[in-house]
Amino acid sequence: MGSLDILQKRLGYRFAEMGLLTQALTHRSAGSAHNERLEFLGDAALNFVVAARLFGRFPKVSEGDLSRMRARLVREETLAEIAGEIALADYLILGPGEVRSGGARRDSIRADALEAVIGAAFLDGGFSAAEGIVLKLLEPRITDQLGDAELRDPKTRLQEFLQGRGRPLPIYTLIEEKGQAHERRFVARCSVPGIEPTEAEDGSRRKAEQQAATLMLTQLQNTPRG
């Protein structure tokens, strides 16, 4: 286990109660005093701090787009990347089984531990301590480019998401038209092989397809990667 002094410098916060930091770094495989409850607390603090920062940083962005931007920042993949940047894996306390299976390299374990550290800081130094860690680690990612990525057409974002993972591109199908000529409603389906199709309805076929793409992207982002 690396020096906790170095880790605290990377976090930008020094703990008064070192036991809290140690617990935050302890996986449940290593004993009963593990980090799952701290992870719960840290997740809540993380989401609030990021939401507040995005709210102030992007005053003209809608609630839905702010939610998608936040999801991009607090998702497991992003948190695991940040954990890698501060070498959090070097400080994790794992049980023998997890050590043998390379648990310190698993995104889920690293991301959960990072949230637990934020929760531990909240207990140790109050909200300002947790906020300081979150902003130090995530502020570099809260840029105009983040906003541009999230505000692009949903069909474009879905295509880029799938291409980045070497998966087939989506297929859009108009499955139903409703109503009179002056008040048509369109039902569009978005299909990706191996994933449950998504459907959306709107007065515009283009918007129906965009909404179906948004639903598909959300579904894919919430699906654990194998």
pLDDT tens figures, 95-145: 988 888 887 788 889 999 999 999 999 999 999 999 999 999 999 998 877
Average pLDDT, the chain: 89
Q: What is the per-residue pLDDT for 99?
A: 84
Would residue 199 show up in a list of annotated catalytic residues for this protein? Answer: no
Q: Which of 43, 76, 98, 209 is catalytic?
A: 43
Tokens 């409603």 belong to 185
* Residue 225 pLDDT > 80: no
- Model confidence at 203, pLDDT cuts 50, 70, 90, reads confident
Q: How far apart are CA 110 and CA 131, in angstroms?
A: 19
Strand partners, 190: 172, 198
**Per-residue model confidence as pLDDT tens digits over 19-70:** 999 999 999 898 888 999 999 999 999 999 999 999 999 898 878 788 888 9
Q: What is the per-residue pLDDT for 91?
A: 94
CA distances from 176 to 2, 127, 209, 210, 211 (A): 60, 51, 12, 16, 15
Angle at 94 between CA 90 and CA 100, to 5 degrees: 95
Would residue 43 show up in a list of annotated catalytic residues for this protein? Answer: yes
Cite the residue boundaries of each domain of the chain with CATH code 1.10.1520.10: 4-150
Binding-site residues, in ranges, read 39, 112, 115
* Residue 195 pLDDT > 60: yes
Q: What is the per-residue pLDDT for 60?
A: 84
Cite the residue boundaries of each domain of the chain with CATH code 3.30.160.20: 152-221
Q: Which of 76, 98, 115, 124 is catalytic?
A: 115
Binding-site residues for Mg(2+), in ranges, read 39, 112, 115
The CATH homologous superfamily to which domain 4-150 belongs is: Ribonuclease III domain (1.10.1520.10)
* Domain 152-221 coded CATH 3.40.50.720: no
